[in-house]
Structure 1
């Protein structure tokens, strides 16, 4: 049975979130192809994971037989997150840009789920799994824009997900999402609307493609 791991990290509900609207479109397309499939869903904003601390980190580098009760509890969570990733045929992540980078709640998931010698290292256990990242942002950060070079979402996640976990990373990028709410950006609303429609169409297409890949 096909399995999708879906993570959202926007602090806003779907009706007020650009990333959640697009991840919802991807998930709907995926589920239409796999109505009996399994979706493992984590809302990292509504139910945040603990940030990695010394207890959880040290447990990842020590023999489980030597773990203290506190390490056992911390490592049980890390193990569960690793298992969810390993079970997935495809991964979907909503990663809005906050202050030029990813939400801390998403970084917490990465830090907890990345276990050297298992999900990370020379032969990551989920290597090659496709991951689609919806990297929404309030402005525009592409080549030639005033804030070119300020994007620490795509480059960071390409390294962490691609090099760290060995995943096959793809991005959908809805831009200018603050245009409808910011009077200074009002002239950019048509570009925002075009970007949004493009992102939703990409999500539907990529959701179907991920479903077909899982069925192959």
Structure 2
């Protein structure tokens, strides 16, 4: 059994999305002690920003005319898509940045799509946990309602394009404990934290088939 684990936080030492993903992974590992975990951390080991353009332009160029950079980009795109397709289960920890997904996560998605094709269901039927965290509040009635441009994109890619059997764990207000002006939200933030951790354990057990 192979678990694919992806992280996208640029602050791995204090990542709240990683905390949620860690709990889900622990449940999977407990059920599959001899399983393997394939890891990719886009925050600490980002992919080259120019690789997607190189892989895409290579697709419209005869292979014999590919530059060395294009060949490297095509190989990278193929390896990334294969890495995902080989997963028996998957966990992705993806924070919201600047109201959307980070450029390094978007580069990964674009390269996977370049390697596999834009409609290939790489995770078809694969149990997948998405842990996403947001510093502020974006729910109904919040000042930033409608500003979360990350979660819908993530669900579209994972569930609709790659056809994962997706479980979403979403925690908002992660900055309430440290941000001036958010003091009144601390209790709600802590409640969301507790709910997210409980959901992570449940999702991990389901991920493991328990």
Within 1, Cα distance between the matches of 2:197 and 2:94? 15
1:9 corresponds to: 8
User: Are 2:52 and 2:110, in contact at CA under 8 Å, matched by a contact in 1?
Assistant: no
1:187 aligns to what? 184
Long gaps (5+) in structure 1: none
TM-score normalized by the length of structure 2: 0.91
* Matched residue, 1:140: 137
For the 8 Å contact 2:7–2:92, the answer to whether it is kept is yes
1:57-92 Cα distance to aligned partner (Å, 9 max, x none): 123455656544332211111111011101101221
Normalised by the size of structure 1, how large is the TM-score?
A: 0.88
Alignment of 1:18-29 (within 5 A): 18-29=16-27
Q: Are residues 1:73 and 2:77 paired?
A: no
Deviation at 1:198, TM superposition (A): 0.9
CA distance in 2, matches of 1:21, 1:150: 24
Q: How does 1:90-109 map to 2 (within 5 A)?
A: 90-109=89-108
Matched, 1:150 2:123: no
Pairs aligned (count): 209
The alignment partner of 2:203 has SS state of: helix
How far did residue 207 of structure 1 move? 0.9
Partner of 1:112: 111
| Cα distance in 2 between the residues matched to 1:185 and 1:96 | 19
**Unaligned ranges ≥5, structure 2:** none
Contact 1:162 1:169 in 2 (8 A): yes
Does structure 2 retain, via aligned residues, the 8 Å contact 1:55–1:71? yes
CA distance in 1, matches of 2:20, 2:176: 17
Deviation digits for residues 84-122 of structure 1, max 9, x if unmatched?
Answer: 101101221111111111111111110111137x3532x
- Please give the alpha-carbon distance, in whole angstroms, between the structure 2 residues aligned to 1:68 and 1:127: 34
> In structure 2, do the counterparts of structure 1 residues 60 and 34 end up closer, same or farther at CA, with 3 Å as the change threshold?
farther
Q: CA-to-partner distance for each residue in 1:109-137, whole Å, 9 max, x for gaps? A: 10111137x3532x434323232211101
Taking the aligned partners of 2:95 and 2:29, their CA distance within structure 1 comes to 23
CA contact (8 A) 1:138 1:176 kept: yes
Identify the residue that residue 161 of structure 1 maps to in structure 2: 158
Query: Alpha carbons of 1:125 and 1:151: their partners in 2 closer, same or farther (altered >3 Å)?
Result: closer
